[in-house]
Amino acid sequence: MPKDRSEVLQGTLDLMVLKTLDALGPLHGYGVARRLEQLSEELLRLNEGTVYASLLRLAQKGWIRSEWGASENKRKARFYSITRAGRKQLAREAESWERISGVIGRVLRLESQG
């Protein structure tokens, strides 16, 4: 039976991209998208345009940088890596996410009065 696939929750893609680059090192955009799908056990659906928009946003903020290299199939590809500023931002966003997800978890555990 196929799993239901979900869209990425708004505002979380940049956080996941930063964490992926922090944990796995430099990756090209296609690699970032595929790794996130694998890590989600194929529950997330990531269109490459969305991932590239995130990479562009993160680069403009100085949280990642890119350089040209050769992909696994020897094609020219842009590889992205996290910067020191990106690691600081990742820490801030991860802390915020933990706080918010904890609140949501507490609300979802409320017992029904009915």
Condensed to tens digits (0 to 9), the pLDDT of residues 54-106 reads 999 999 999 999 999 988 888 899 999 999 999 999 999 999 999 999 999 99
89 lies in a domain?
A: yes
pLDDT at 32: 94
Residue 51: which residues within 8 A CB-CB, separation 6 or more?
13, 17, 29, 32, 33, 36
pLDDT at 88: 98
59 lies in a domain?
A: yes
Domain count, the chain: 1
5 lies in a domain?
A: no
pLDDT at 1: 39
- Nearest Cα neighbor of 33 from 22, 21, 82 is 21
19 lies in a domain?
A: yes
114 lies in a domain?
A: no
49 lies in a domain?
A: yes
54 lies in a domain?
A: yes
Cα–Cα dist 71/79, whole Å: 9
- Nearest Cα neighbor of 27 from 60, 58, 6 is 58
25 lies in a domain?
A: yes
Domain containing 35 equals 13-108
Q: What is the pLDDT of residues 49-58, one digit of tens each?
A: 889 999 999 9
Q: What is the pLDDT of residues 2-35, one digit of tens each?
A: 455 656 666 789 999 999 999 999 999 999 999 9
CATH of the domain at 50: 1.10.10.10
